[in-house]
Chains A and B, each alone.
Chain A
Amino acid sequence: MIRGINLSIHQGDFKLSNLNFTIEAKEYVVLMGKTGCGKTTLLETICGLRKLSSGEIWINDKNVSNEVPAKREIGYVPQDAALFNTMTVKKNIGFALKIRKCNKQKIEERTNELAELMGIDHLLERRIDGLSGGEKQRVALARALSFYPQILCLDEPLSALDEDTKGDMIELLVKLKQNLDITVVHVTHSNFEASKLANKVLYFEAGTITHQKKFR
């Protein structure tokens, strides 16, 4: 469960204030709103990449407001995927486990498992430069899931993809939602994505959540 209590985030002229929300465990929540309304900022704040001006963020029963990103154990897929371009696909996926000093065999197993799940096993030895947009997003997803996080944050993961690839990615996300016991926070401005994926939609406008809608 993720809870935001009276969150305020200031960044230059941009302001999010008195934000309150609850995201239940295992829920697939879509954050919707126009470009520039603060969705990405909120996502980055949940991940610990932005400082709170005031308020608290709780993950399960723990106040993580002052925790560094590494301690929050949240898988994060930014809009541009931000893959490590000095490494191969395989090294990207195995990175989080390597930092956790897991042994080689464990890293290898997990990398192969995720590569198979994402349908990118044929790309493992490739470098990042030559990958297509869809492939990059799959690698970024695999990398974010590698360390078994309880929460996954996706920042417009489909916005840069063409229609066909987008369809494939939505299928993949539906599959992940069904197979993994994981809370997902997905930022988008597409109603179509929301209708296909969300259990709950939080609507954002001018720095506040205006209303929410529950799906199945």
Chain B
Amino acid sequence: MMGIVASTYIILIVAMMVADMSYTSPGHIFEALKSKEIQYAIKLSLITCTVTMILSVMVAVPLGYFMSRFEFPFKKVIDAILDIPIVLPPLVIGLSLLILFQTAPGRFIESHVRITYTVYSVVIAQFMVACAFAVRTMYVTFSQINNRQEQVALTLGCNQKQAFFNILLPQAKNGILTAASLAWARALGEFGPILIFSGATRMRTEVLPTTVFLEMTVGNIEAAVAVSLIMIFSGFAVLMVVRLFGDKKVIV
């Protein structure tokens, strides 16, 4: 009985993808790939996701280390704050970002570098959500690594920084890979915040989820499905990389 319940869910997931595939054909996918707009969206998605991934890891590694290795006042509060982007509806993140850049400091930044409705805003919107997953992953990763090896390193002549880079970081390699892949995959699927904060302008702030949205609104379901399939396969490929090379214990 339990097996039937469990397998129903898996069958549903696979059925969705099979339905997508049956709705489109290789011809549709190639046609979609030939479109200049979609080529731009693929390029922008790849670039922004990669930038978001790098930024997320750069933030998640020190933050995860700090949270797992040090005790300080209001740690539980900060822990909860770090989860806000995970629990918040994506649209609300987009709206909040938009409002943030209407405040005085936000407007000051905008007066120097235009953020809202530009490519930069795409990265910021992706980063706000993706980074939370990377931080959570690194927090778990570092917490699971016993600090004994670092302590021995300290007695052998290391300072904290040397112990971190020489001893802890190499142990966290799989966790970092997992965090990076998750951030990338999250960024690829991000739509709500981008729609509000960056708009959906073709050849400017159009990423792949935006393409699906735009194609659907003009009734071009075949193209929307074709782009969806491109996303499903690239997301699946990234998740497979994590499963094959990553640390199973830290996958969230």
Contact with A along B123-165 (1 / 0, CB 8 A): 0000000000000000000000010110111111111001000
Q: Is the interface of B mostly helix, strand, loop or mixed?
A: helix
* Contact with B149, one of A47, A70, A85, A147 (Cβ below 8 angstroms): A85
Stretch of A93-101, A112-120, A166-174 on the interface side: A93-101
Q: Using A47-B155, A70-B157, A85-B171 as known contacts, list a sample of 8 further A-B pairs with CB atoms less than 8 Å apart, ordered by residue number in A.
A: A72-B155, A76-B152, A76-B155, A76-B156, A84-B152, A85-B149, A99-B158, A147-B157
Contact B156 A86 (CB under 8 A): no
A74 within 8 A of B: yes
Contact A48 B148 (CB under 8 A): no
* Contact with B162, one of A48, A84, A99 (Cβ below 8 angstroms): A99
B170 within 8 A of A: yes
Given contacts A78-B151, A82-B148, A82-B152, whether A96 and B171 have CB atoms under 8 Å apart is no
With a cutoff of 8 Å between Cβ atoms, the chain B residues found around residue A75 in the complex are 155
Contact A70 B154 (CB under 8 A): yes
Closest to B168 in A: A86
Contact B155 A74 (CB under 8 A): yes
What is the CB-to-nearest-CB distance from A17 to chain B, in angstroms, rounded to a whole number?
Answer: 23
Closest to A149 in B: B155
Contact A82 B156 (CB under 8 A): no
With a cutoff of 8 Å between Cβ atoms, the chain B residues found around residue A129 in the complex are none
What is the CB-to-nearest-CB distance from B124 to chain A, in angstroms, rounded to a whole number?
Answer: 35
Contact A68 B154 (CB under 8 A): yes
What is the CB-to-nearest-CB distance from A143 to chain B, in angstroms, rounded to a whole number?
Answer: 7
What is the CB-to-nearest-CB distance from B204 to chain A, in angstroms, rounded to a whole number?
Answer: 45
B194-220 residues at the A interface, CB under 8 angstroms: none
Contact with B along A28-70 (1 / 0, CB 8 A): 0000000000000000100111000000000000000000111
Interchain CA distance A68-B152 in the complex, whole Å: 12
Contact A99 B151 (CB under 8 A): no
A181 within 8 A of B: no
Bin the interface of chain B by size. 10 to 19
Contact A100 B152 (CB under 8 A): no
Contact A86 B154 (CB under 8 A): no
A80 within 8 A of B: yes
Given contacts A84-B167, A99-B162, whether A49 and B156 have CB atoms under 8 Å apart is no
Contact A96 B148 (CB under 8 A): no
* Contact with A78, one of B152, B159, B173 (Cβ below 8 angstroms): B152
Interchain CA distance A144-B154 in the complex, whole Å: 11
Contact A49 B149 (CB under 8 A): no
With a cutoff of 8 Å between Cβ atoms, the chain A residues found around residue B151 in the complex are 44, 49, 69, 78, 82
With a cutoff of 8 Å between Cβ atoms, the chain A residues found around residue B154 in the complex are 48-49, 68-70
Given contacts A78-B151, A99-B162, whether A86 and B157 have CB atoms under 8 Å apart is no
Interchain CA distance A44-B148 in the complex, whole Å: 11
Contact with A along B24-45 (1 / 0, CB 8 A): 0000000000000000000000
A140-154 residues at the B interface, CB under 8 angstroms: 143-144, 146-147
Contact B149 A96 (CB under 8 A): no
Contact B158 A70 (CB under 8 A): yes
A72-130 residues at the B interface, CB under 8 angstroms: 72, 74-76, 78, 80, 82-87, 95-96, 99-100
What is the CB-to-nearest-CB distance from B25 to chain A, in angstroms, rounded to a whole number?
Answer: 49
Interchain CA distance A143-B156 in the complex, whole Å: 8
Interchain CA distance A95-B162 in the complex, whole Å: 11
Contact A99 B157 (CB under 8 A): yes
* Contact with A96, one of B156, B167, B170 (Cβ below 8 angstroms): B156
Interchain CA distance A87-B149 in the complex, whole Å: 12
Most central of A48, A75, A87, A99 by chain B CB within 10 Å? A99
Interchain CA distance A144-B156 in the complex, whole Å: 7
Interchain CA distance A74-B180 in the complex, whole Å: 39
With a cutoff of 8 Å between Cβ atoms, the chain A residues found around residue B173 in the complex are 86
* Contact with A48, one of B146, B149, B155, B159 (Cβ below 8 angstroms): B155
User: Could you list 22 examples of A-B contacts with CB < 8 Å?
Assistant: A48-B154, A48-B155, A49-B151, A68-B154, A69-B155, A70-B154, A75-B155, A76-B155, A78-B148, A78-B151, A78-B152, A82-B152, A84-B149, A84-B152, A99-B156, A99-B157, A99-B162, A100-B157, A143-B152, A144-B156, A146-B156, A147-B156
What is the CB-to-nearest-CB distance from A144 to chain B, in angstroms, rounded to a whole number?
Answer: 8
* Contact with A86, one of B152, B162, B171 (Cβ below 8 angstroms): B171
